[in-house]
Amino acid sequence: MAAKKTRKSTSTPSPTRPARPSAAASVPAPAPVVPAWHVAPDETKAWRRLTTLARKGRSMDLRKAFAADRTRGTRFAVESLGIHLDYSKNLVDAATMDALFALASECGVARHAKAMFRGEAINTTENRAVLHVALRAPKDAVIKVDGCNVVPDVHEVLERMERFANAVRGGKWRGHTGKRIRTVVNIGIGGSDLGPVMAYEALKDFTRDSAGRSIECRYISNIDGEDFHEKTHDLDPEETLFVVSSKTFTTIETMTNAQTARTWALRKLKDPAAVAKHFVAVSTNAAEVSKFGIDTANMFGFWDWVGGRYSMDSAIGLSTMVAIGPDGFRELLGGFRDMDEHFRTAPPKKNLPYLLALIGIWNRDFLGCETVAVLPYCQYLHRLSAYLQQLEMESNGKRVQLDGTPCRWQTSPVIWGEPGTNGQHAFYQMIHQGTSPVPCDLIAFAQPLHEIGEHQDILLANFLAQSEALAFGKTPAEVRAEGTPEWLVPHRTFPGNRPTSTLLCEKLSPRMLGRLIALYEHKAFVQGSIWRVNSFDQWGVELGKVLAKRIIPELSGKAPSKAAHDSSTNALIARYRAWRGR
Ligand code: F6P
């Protein structure tokens, strides 16, 4: 893998950082300087305007808005790359949208995006560039980090991945005893799991090769041993290949699962030399990979400028590539690239990521919505909301600004969701009639992959009916007109004016999936940029990891339980030990 070239610091110094020592270096880097153009949102004129507009927005009546403007459904909609985004059923009018575009402009989103695409270290707390866009750049592109073009390294790894994926798919790469690999098990967590598993589920229909064969992929993430058991109990080690995926190669869940996998495999294969045929690694940390016992010849690298939650199109996508084949993976990358270009070049008014982001800011900061439901009307996307939870909440779930001062505004909402129509029979009740408005992204594909009876029309009718019902509701008068007894009227009334954004896409494919995921990546970017947080670190996950390490020996009985915690944690540890006979 990677960097043969000496990375000299020849690039123009980033406006966001004064120096380049790593965050891990012993001498701490000086605090980054937030450039003057990166204005705090509440210091903009647009924010003040939006605060005034919010009063109107909160009482907006979508029935009246649609009646007053017969073109609203097409005026508040854009279409690009086979994605039709209709945001007309949000509580916005032209003045609101103008103020939102002005907000993005005053907050310097476009300059910030340019800094990202140029490879500047916009991840200031870790002093790193943020270059997931380089992962899908064409071979002849030039994207520099510290003066060194990273694109050749990206393609070198991609080509190695392709050779590997072809060998596994074609049966050239065999297990230690000469058997064909039938199952690939990815071991990883967070960004080293959620993207690959989401993509595998989404693209299952694209996994067969020309002979109709496909390699099954499974994903072990949880430290819960039950996950390991369930994913392996019916597998034959001779036909199983593990991909140990971890950016850092130090994550306790992944390392524990990988050790367990080695023990599991060697129980049958006996010979430690078998590890070379049944384990490959994906990581940025060659030293740890080697320490673990995986030959770095079987390692696929990536770089510190790829965040975990932005890594599904790096080597972390190795299982995706084995599943859908190198051509499919190239299509997926092509989709990401299409959206990068769109994001870079389309004016904000026609720009899908900008629009989704700005509508989200409006709902979160001005209408006070605390959650967003992502509701794909496509079973293949059943892991999408789990994937987006990490993408958006780990990126923008921050409480301080880039300069460390507290945010005076709300940042990431809770992201959640399930595929329609399943969700309709579970939690939509609350979305229609609950006390907290939940903005929804409804996503569907016009063309099904499998035309089966009337299914697609029924599915899409539900998709459309929900946004209609959420927007326009049902008035008490309409309920009464149906002969409903008066006491039942409030129960059967739908207030309406529940905001939804509708994404109607042409057809699911690797390319379309790439476009959709990049759309949400850039949405998170625009929001983080406006909220003026660092969307690319995740310090908030560290404390729990440290405390868990301290508690492990106390649970196992290796360390005495010294009543070292608070009374609640002490009592729970004591109860656990008692029930475990320790
Ligand atoms: O703990 C959070 C996190 O660091 C995520 O950001 C990351 O995607 C995940 O853990 C897994 O990390 P790694 O790929 O280094 O094992």
Please give the full DSSP string across 172-212, using - where no structure is assigned.
-SB-TTSPBP-EEEEE--GGGTHHHHHHHHHTGGG---TTS
From CA 196, how far away is CA 42, in angstroms rounded? 38
Ligand 1 pocket test target in 244, 249, 251 with most atoms within 8 Å of CB: 251
pLDDT at residue number 211: 85
Amino acid of residue 84: H
pLDDT at residue number 15: 34
CA of 221 to the centre of ligand 1 (A): 11
Please calculate the CA angle 433-523-115 and round it to the nearest 5 degrees. 160
pLDDT digit string (tens) for the chain, length 582 residues: 333 333 333 233 333 333 344 444 456 667 889 999 999 999 999 999 999 999 999 999 999 999 999 999 999 999 999 999 999 999 999 999 999 999 999 999 999 999 999 999 999 999 999 999 999 999 999 999 999 999 999 999 999 999 999 999 999 999 999 999 999 999 999 999 999 999 999 999 999 988 888 999 999 999 999 999 999 999 999 999 999 999 999 999 999 999 999 999 999 999 999 999 999 999 999 999 999 889 899 999 999 999 999 999 999 999 999 999 999 999 999 999 999 999 999 999 999 999 999 999 999 999 999 999 999 999 999 999 999 999 999 999 999 999 999 999 999 999 999 999 999 999 999 999 999 999 999 999 999 999 999 999 999 999 999 999 999 999 999 999 999 999 999 999 999 999 999 999 999 999 999 999 999 999 999 999 999 999 999 999 999 999 999 999 999 887 776 668 999 999 999 999 999 999
DSSP assigned state of 458: H
pLDDT at residue number 14: 36
pLDDT at residue number 17: 35
What atom in ligand 1 is closest to the CA of residue 245? Answer: 14
DSSP assigned state of 24: T
From CA 90, how far away is CA 86, in angstroms rounded? 9
189 lines ligand 1 (CB under 6 A): yes
pLDDT at residue number 23: 45
Residue nearest to atom 5 of ligand 1 (CA): 190
From CA 217, how far away is CA 234, in angstroms rounded? 13
* Contact by Cβ (8 Å): 153, 303: yes
pLDDT at residue number 11: 31
Quickly tell me which residue has 């209709």 as its tokens.
86
Torsion of CA 400, 401, 406, 410, to 10 degrees: -80
From CA 248, how far away is CA 308, in angstroms rounded? 9
Percent of residues in the chain assigned helix, strand, coil, to nearest 5: 50, 10, 35
pLDDT at residue number 562: 65
541 lines ligand 1 (CB under 6 A): yes
pLDDT at residue number 439: 98
What atom in ligand 1 is closest to the CA of residue 545? Answer: 1
CA of 134 to the centre of ligand 1 (A): 20
* Contact by Cβ (8 Å): 533, 411: yes
CA of 384 to the centre of ligand 1 (A): 18
CA of 578 to the centre of ligand 1 (A): 33
What atom in ligand 1 is closest to the CA of residue 192? Answer: 14
